[in-house]
Amino acid sequence: MRLVKLFCLTIAFTFVLAVFSACKDNGEQPGTGEPANGTVSYNGEEFWFQGSFIPKNPRDYTDEEKEAAAATPPEYTVEEEAMMSQVVSVEDKYNCVIHCIPTVVGIDSTTITEKYSTGEMKIDIYYDTADMALAFYQAGMVEDLNKIEAIDLTDAEKWGTPEHVASCSYGGVQYAVPVIGCLYYPYAQRFLCILMEKQ
């Protein structure tokens, strides 16, 4: 089993350092190619950001979405364009693909857990509410963020106060991180980033 560990997805200036990364049980890092721009190359590996607040890249459109976009091209805000551009920049820099999949309205944690466990729903990071985060932790679906050295949980600019951070932990396990927002994506009810354990 490979565990998701670290991959920095810097999203729009001061917003969120969403973390994706992978390693194998033997500790081998994914990608053995030459570093891209002085960093790790992920050799085209794909990462899935479910519940994304970043619009989907047109390359990921379904046939229906392509038809709809052809009929009525989507209009993005300046903030959405900035975040989409940042994702593309990270993809280019690290030689990977990041799929930003919007929230499925009305889907519950039980359905997500089932779809994830069967491989029907690919998830590396999930952005949602506290109840979803706790349900995923209880189902054993998330990585303990304390194990990931590159996440600085004391960074109040990203995650808020120690109390904010502690609200996403249980029994010493940091199963999610709060996101305090920024000018591009201010506070909302959906405020948690959850790093999923890779099957």
Tens-place pLDDT, residues 61-106: 999 999 999 999 999 999 889 989 999 999 999 999 999 998 887 8
Rg of the Cα trace of the chain? 17
Give CA–CA dist 101/17, Å, rounded: 17
Averaged pLDDT, 152-172: 84
pLDDT-based confidence at 17, cuts 50/70/90? very low
Burial 35-65 (b: 16+ CB within 10 A, else e): ebeeebbbeebebbbbbbbbbbeeeeeeeee
pLDDT digits (tens, 9 = 90+) for 118-158: 999 999 988 887 778 888 888 888 888 888 888 888 888 87
pLDDT of 130 reads 76
Enter the pTM of the model.
0.74
Q: Please count the other Cβ atoms lying within 10 Å of the Cβ belonging to residue 126.
A: 27
Question: What's the chain's average pLDDT?
Answer: 75
In sequence order, the 6+-apart residues with CB closer than 8 A to the CB of 191 are 129, 130, 178, 179, 181
Query: How are beta strands 96-101 and 45-50 bridged, if at all?
Result: parallel
Position 25 pLDDT exceeds 60: no
pLDDT of 63 reads 96
92 token code pair: 């280019």
Position 174 pLDDT exceeds 70: yes
Express as a percent the part of the chain with pLDDT over 90: 29
Please name which of 108, 87, 119 lies closest in space to residue 15, comparing C-alpha atoms: 87
pLDDT digits (tens, 9 = 90+) for 123-133: 998 888 777 88
Averaged pLDDT, 38-67: 90
Give CA–CA dist 76/80, Å, rounded: 6
Averaged pLDDT, 16-28: 32
